[in-house]
Amino acid sequence: MIDPSILISFLPWIVFAIASSFFGLKIGALIGLVLQIAFFIPMARKRTYTILEAYSLVFFVILVIGFLVLDEQSIENLTRWSAALSYGGLALITWATIAIGDPFTRQYARRVTPKEWWTSELFLSSTMSMALGWAVAFLGATVVSIIGALTGFKFLLIHGLAMGCMLLAILWHKRVMDETMAKAKVLSRS
């Protein structure tokens, strides 16, 4: 029901977070950008990218440009606020897709779900439920990251709490997907 590429779409973000932890934010941003470009080009050629994939490309481009043009103090501030900006941007995009009635999860689901299911209550409700799970997780990670930036809490603690929010979203996503698949099997037999 949901295209597994949704998790692949987050790979540049995951690698960005890990690489930033080990090599610094500049290198992490550059690696995230390279991965996002590599994933985005084939989708752009086919015009199959989602709003989240387009946003991710724009985010990494702006972040890398920021590191190239900002002074040292501005880069220090950008580094301090980078997690809040990352999660906040993802939260904003996720909530915006929910508000316009086309949650980002639905965009991925259309890639693997037959068109005749796209207007079904099961498809609409499950993709909305998954998107809400991600939106709450991104919002939670944003709040945690803002607290970390304001208070100077240890990076690993804040990063761990934010990653915990992401893990909860993944578990929610899987639960909704499993329930949806079970219901779809029952409906298919009817």
Region 126-130 average pLDDT: 96
> Quick one: tokens of 11?
């790979």
pLDDT surpasses 70 at 2: no
pLDDT digits (tens, 9 = 90+) for 97-113: 999 999 999 998 898 88
pLDDT surpasses 70 at 4: no
pLDDT surpasses 60 at 1: no
pLDDT at 138: 96
Region 82-109 average pLDDT: 93
pLDDT at 152: 80
Residue 148 CA to residue 152 CA, distance in Å, equals: 5
Query: Which ranges of 100-154 does DSSP label H, i.e. alpha helix?
Result: 104-109, 121-151
pTM: 0.87
Please state the domain extents for the chain: 5-189
pLDDT surpasses 80 at 120: yes
Residue 186 burial (10 A CB sphere; 0-12, 13-18, 19+):
exposed
pLDDT surpasses 80 at 62: yes
Tokens 């987050």 identify what position?
A: 10
Q: Are 48 and 28 in contact (CB under 8 A)?
A: no
pLDDT surpasses 90 at 155: no
